[in-house]
Amino acid sequence: MLILGVDPGLTRCGVGVIEAGASRRLSFVHVDVIRSSPDTPQDLRLLKIYNGLVEKIERFVPDVVSIERVFAQENRSTVLGTAQVAGLAMLAAAQRGIPTALHTPSEVKLAITGSGTAPKKQVEYMVMRILNLNEPPKPADAADALGQAICHALRPAGAIQGGEREEHLTPAQRQWAQAVQASKHGRGPQKRDM
Amino acid sequence: MLILGVDPGLTRCGVGVIEAGASRRLSFVHVDVIRSSPDTPQDLRLLKIYNGLVEKIERFVPDVVSIERVFAQENRSTVLGTAQVAGLAMLAAAQRGIPTALHTPSEVKLAITGSGTAPKKQVEYMVMRILNLNEPPKPADAADALGQAICHALRPAGAIQGGEREEHLTPAQRQWAQAVQASKHGRGPQKRDM
């Protein structure tokens, strides 16, 4: 299964592609950052990022596009642009009949390091380890996009999204659900914004 | 000049088209609301709204697409979806080489009623009057989309966006700039989010 991860951003939008084989063996396929200049009008920035995402999706034809879930209270000066780019990634996938998934940063950290609150360096190190890279992917947006793809591959079977019941979960599923809940409570009731 | 106004929203996205002739004579051309169901996955909702916007833009081929400017602190439960739809409208226009404009609700009220804080009913009444309609356009999203288009047509020549200097402005331009500033200060430093 080919997974294309997106770390949405208007200035830098990370894209990472991995192959998830048998026994959850993951291999690195591609990583890149699509950029747009803050000096460019907003509509042309969105067009540039969208065209870059379409180019990646059409080149790799992923089975799923996994995108970082954006919260309304995050880093306010850029959150709307980030949400718009996440929307463009969903659009570009939906136009091609490719399913999309959304994972929070906490879910990504948990899936990759075993802790939903792991520091960034630890996540980068584990991304490098999991994908057998010689060094951590740069810039950070590239690592986050690969992390998003890895998270989608490693999420526990039947992983639930926020709001569903935790009855009869395996320990891994319960830990996952708790990470989802924690990110909800830490950020107020914005979970279902997008 | 044909102006297509957009009141962005994920559940209801208003679209209003007006013709701005000589001496700022405005005439009604079209109004509609593009809808998507909250029960549908987010990616398919965005696709449906985007396809609806593209259909309108390709049918009317406007000279400009004017879109309500979204603020990060507005109505938090829906603001990210609203921002995403505004982004789709900018994308759909930019893909066709059509320029876009963003006007805040305060700018719309000021342009239409002479007051940046006019109540909704007054705005609806003036939209009806300005466009010689027999009744106010319904639902509210439709009136807001027409208001957005009217605002773009009636904005003072050389109207400035927030952050620019107010020196040497005409009284109309200064009033406009003050409405822009008021909406900035009322909502914190989110002005430049998109």
Distance, in Å, from the CA atom of A35 to the CA atom of B9, rounded to the nearest integer, reads: 27
Tell me which chain A residues have a C-beta less than 8 angstroms from the C-beta of B72: 72, 76, 79-80
* Structural domain contains residue A119: yes
Running DSSP on this structure, what letter comes out for residue B180?
A: H
pLDDT at position A167 is 46
Amino acid at A128: M
Average pLDDT over residues A126-144: 90
Nearest to B33 by CA among B16, B18, B13: B13
Tell me which chain A residues have a C-beta less than 8 angstroms from the C-beta of B76: 72-73, 188-190, 193
List of E strands, chain A: 2-7, 12-20, 26-35, 64-68, 100-103
A57-112: per-residue pLDDT in tens? 999 999 999 999 988 766 567 899 999 999 999 999 999 999 999 999 999 999 99
Edge to edge, the sheet with strand B100-103 lists B26-35, B12-20, B2-7, B64-68, B100-103
pLDDT at position B173 is 58
CA distance B46 to chain A (A): 6
Active site residue B32: no
Higher-confidence position of B79 and B190: B79
Provide the pLDDT confidence category of residue B165 given band limits of 50, 70 and 90.
very low
Assess whether pLDDT exceeds 80 at residue B180: no
Tell me which chain B residues have a C-beta less than 8 angstroms from the C-beta of A188: 76
Residues of the binding site of A:
7, 68, 141
Distance, in Å, from the CA atom of A82 to the CA atom of A65, rounded to the nearest integer, reads: 16
B15-74: per-residue pLDDT in tens? 999 999 988 799 999 999 999 999 999 999 999 999 999 999 999 999 999 999 988 766
* Structural domain contains residue A177: no
Provide the pLDDT confidence category of residue A20 given band limits of 50, 70 and 90.
very high
Return the CATH number at A72. 3.30.420.10
* Structural domain contains residue A16: yes
Asked if this assembly's ipTM is beyond 0.85, the reply is no
What percent helix, strand, coil does chain B show, rounded to 5?
50, 20, 35
Q: Residues near A154 by Cβ (< 8 Å), separated by ≥ 6? A: A24, A26, A111, A112
User: Given an 8 Å threshold on Cβ–Cβ distance, is A80 in contact with B79?
Assistant: yes
User: Given the DSSP bridges, would you call strands A64-68 and A100-103 parallel, antiparallel or unpaired?
Assistant: parallel
User: Given an 8 Å threshold on Cβ–Cβ distance, is A42 in contact with B102?
Assistant: yes
B70-127: per-residue pLDDT in tens? 887 665 678 999 999 999 999 999 999 999 999 999 999 999 999 999 999 999 999 9
* Structural domain contains residue A34: yes
Q: How many CB atoms lie within 10 A of CB B138?
A: 11
Distance, in Å, from the CA atom of A164 to the CA atom of A177, rounded to the nearest integer, reads: 9
Active site residue A167: no
* Structural domain contains residue A62: yes
* Structural domain contains residue B187: no
Looking at the structure of chain A, the number of domains it has is 1
pLDDT at position B179 is 64
Residue span of the structural domain in which B136 resides = 2-158
* Structural domain contains residue A109: yes
* Structural domain contains residue A166: no
- The catalytic residue among B19, B68, B107, B144 is B68
User: Given an 8 Å threshold on Cβ–Cβ distance, is B90 in contact with A190?
Assistant: no
Assess whether pLDDT exceeds 90 at residue B167: no
Report cis status (omega within 30 of 0) of the bond before A139: yes
